[in-house]
Structure 1
């Protein structure tokens, strides 16, 4: 899974950078191995740099696992199913689907009908209004239009090393202005 994180305004112009951590911490329980990519789960913290309180964990479940993973109730969460047959808080989650879990949870009940892989994603609810379109995130229609132009002109975004193929063109912008949206509380 490739994940994009919207940075808060104070950090959104941070220079791009890459981190590699050969060893990532694990949280384990019978039938569960959670590899922490970002943030903290059950008192275990990833070395990955974050700019807001967030969490990302790769969850591996074995067949017939029935576990409860502790969560931070101040975060909102979602689970992305990568493989296998899983129930998240009693709800079937199929490969390729995401289940939004909201805020206020102190634990995540997981049941696996087969070996399964999930991504746990979460963090403090984002207070800023954003425009999200294609691979771009901005604060206004104008920022998205500039990002699209920069992408199409091969400026600002650089080159993806190791990708065998040409730059994928961005779709044409909609004819109506894109509106910033935020989380309604």
Structure 2
């Protein structure tokens, strides 16, 4: 998924002392008739949870009553994209030659590395579109790796009152086979009405709980839709409680604190102002770094103007 804002903020990704709940802001995904998404990461209070650096939650959107997702070819550097659906279907095409369909409960992980471009278009026959798009920052040693794509269908594990699908990393004794460049955990957790579960987690990780729906308390804190609750390292349990009369669904994300400072602007993750300027220039010049997407019936996205100030990472806090 692209950050299609016409004037995207500079985001300096670094460690933060913030603990608590991040609330989302709504942004359009595309043109004037675009669907709206709830963006929780990054924010000024906290830009990373482990290597997780971007989180959009969207839907449920009834495609019979409005537009779906139509994101033209756009570039990425220095990250992996995680596509995870609760309902609907999205057609993915990228410059590595991948043509895949994103379906509910199936992980699609695209590695941008040194550069990739891709498009995402919802399939109208699947009437309700509902899911999340997540980005994972690549460490400096691996951020210029080659383009790649992985697909994985996790099985459902029952842990007390919860059904758990582990799509990245390890949780509840289950490990995803999908390769990541830093230790991570990513899992969907479905809680039965009134259910409570304590999930054993790696105490060296920081964790986030992103609520999709339901009346959930994470660590005793009530969450709203698309809220992201943060738990610092040093805890070996994430406690989740469904206080409502219906089912609840959430994502658990985590990883060790990311030790590097990043500069993230538009769809690029880099380390300096000059790198971001160079990536933008190469995209506008149709450079080979990003390649091209075949069979998209329209123009690719143009890069927005750069801010007038120098893009600088904030120091670790």
TM range (shorter): 0.7 to 0.9
| Equivalent residue, structure 2, for 1:109 | 239
Relative distance call for 1:44 and 1:135 in structure 2 (3 A) is same
1:94 partner SS: coil
TM-score after normalising by structure 1: 0.88
1:88-167 matched pairs, under 5 angstroms: 88-112=218-242, 113=244, 114-155=246-287, 156-159=289-292, 166-167=299-300
2:184 touches 2:255 (CA, 8 Å); kept in 1?
Answer: yes
| Equivalent residue, structure 2, for 1:77 | 207
Flag the structure with higher strand content: 2
- 1: distance between equivalents of 2:255 and 2:296? 31
Higher relative contact order structure (alpha carbons within 8 Å, sequence separation ≥ 6): 2
1:73 touches 1:105 (CA, 8 Å); kept in 2?
Answer: yes
- 2: distance between equivalents of 1:136 and 1:120? 25
1:86 lines up with 2:219 in the alignment: no
| Equivalent residue, structure 2, for 1:37 | 167
1:130 touches 1:182 (CA, 8 Å); kept in 2?
Answer: no
The alignment yields a C-alpha RMSD, in angstroms, of 2.1
- 1: distance between equivalents of 2:221 and 2:306? 36
1:71, distance to aligned residue in structure 2 (A): 0.9
Residue correspondences, number: 183
Gaps of 5+ in 2: 1-131
- 1: distance between equivalents of 2:252 and 2:154? 15
1:30, distance to aligned residue in structure 2 (A): 2.9
1:175 lines up with 2:308 in the alignment: yes
TM-score after normalising by structure 2: 0.53
